[in-house]
């Protein structure tokens, strides 16, 4: 904790509301996030709107097929022998994974390496890169219980993983990321701000999150849980 509270050095941060690949965001969530970014700026944070430059093929869940192939490899036998042990939606992903070729898996592994390179360039201090990236954690408030995801995001029909589109890209790139509440949407439910940093800069990301909480957490209402 002492290292988190140490006086920070000046940092250059990027704010990317759509993460540079056109991901949809609900208007109320975007408004809460913009208000949080402005509050951080008023507190002295240097924040510029900027997007990473991604490899061709970057979109909503670009490596989902790699996940499906991994599920098929790890749990395929369980699904075939005792399907009742697995959620049907996981089973559907496993079935898709069975059909993915080894050549396609290698293509996706190469794309994952390209994501690593994109983050390296974006966070390269030697070429004027950014110290950290701010973006939505989720593009929507929580949706009704019983649904796998929202029907629409940003006024457009939502894909099956649209609600989680902002998080996997940091796993692909092998960089640390953290989410913290920064306000509420139209239903009074939490909106999350995501902070990501360069590879192995976990301490930096934690320090930024702690500092952000000191600004954004002051007087923040807690949503009523029923």
Residue 183, pLDDT score: 94
For the chain, the domains span: 12-54+116-216
Q: pLDDT per residue over 201-215, tens digit each?
A: 999 999 999 999 999
Q: pLDDT per residue over 183-202, tens digit each?
A: 999 999 999 999 999 999 99
Residue 222, pLDDT score: 59
Nearest to 173 by CA among 92, 118, 91: 118
Low-confidence ranges of the chain (pLDDT < 50): 225-226
Q: What are phi and psi of 3, to 5 degrees?
A: -70, -30
Residue 213, pLDDT score: 94
Residue 226, pLDDT score: 45
User: Measured between alpha carbons, how far is 188 from 29 in angstroms, rounded to an integer?
Assistant: 11
User: Measured between alpha carbons, how far is 132 from 12 in angstroms, rounded to an integer?
Assistant: 7
Query: Model pTM?
Result: 0.88
Residue 4, pLDDT score: 67
The CATH class given to the 12-54+116-216 domain equals: alpha beta
């Amino acid at each position: 904790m002492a290292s988190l509270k140490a006086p920070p050095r000046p940092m250059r941060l990027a704010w990317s509301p759509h993460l540079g690949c056109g991901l949809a965001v609900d208007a109320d969530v975007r408004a809460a996030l913009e208000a949080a970014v402005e509050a951080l700026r008023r507190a002295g944070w240097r924040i510029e709107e900027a997007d990473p430059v991604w490899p061709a093929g970057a979109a909503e869940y670009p490596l989902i097929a790699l996940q499906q192939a991994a599920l098929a490899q790890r749990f395929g036998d369980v699904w075939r022998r005792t399907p009742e042990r697995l959620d049907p939606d996981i089973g559907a992903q496993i079935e898709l994974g069975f059909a993915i070729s080894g050549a396609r898996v290698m293509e996706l592994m190469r794309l994952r390496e390209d994501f690593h390179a994109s983050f390296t360039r974006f966070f390269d201090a030697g070429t004027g890169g950014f110290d950290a990236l701010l973006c939505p954690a989720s593009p929507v408030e929580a949706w009704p219980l019983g649904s796998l995801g929202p029907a629409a995001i940003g006024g457009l029909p939502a894909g099956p993983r649209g609600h989680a589109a902002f998080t996997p890209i940091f796993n692909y790139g092998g960089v640390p990321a953290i989410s913290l509440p920064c306000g509420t949407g139209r239903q009074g439910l939490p909106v999350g701000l995501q902070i990501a940093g360069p590879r192995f800069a976990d301490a930096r990301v934690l320090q930024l999150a702690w500092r952000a909480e000191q600004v954004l957490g002051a007087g923040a209402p807690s949503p009523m849980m029923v």
